[in-house]
Amino acid sequence: MPADEPSDETVVQTAAEAAEGVIFSRYKQSDVRDYDVTVTFEDGVLEVDVYLNAPEGDDEADPERVADDAALTARQAVDELFGE
């Protein structure tokens, strides 16, 4: 890995924090029943999986959409780390 490349740990942490940021920007923490953000980064391949169990109502965001947005945001944050 070149010296200017972020470490695998930095990549995983950045992705996880970005995903959690999306979840908790759309839901109050007390409204989230359960969530899981799984991030792996091996051999230059990033995998992000987000599970979210949160209420769905008229004025609430759709949990499936929020989970998808969280995963996408995590990937974008990692792209920014690499300057892409």
Q: Which two tokens stand for residue 77?
A: 């944050």
pLDDT tens-place string over residues 22-74: 999 999 999 999 999 999 999 999 999 999 999 876 566 899 999 999 999 99
pLDDT band at 2 (very low <50, low <70, confident <90, very high): low
- Domains of the chain, CATH where assigned: 8-81 (3.30.300.100)
Q: pTM here? A: 0.89
Element (H, E) at 35: strand 34-42
Residue pair 27/54 in contact (Cβ under 8 Å)? The answer is yes
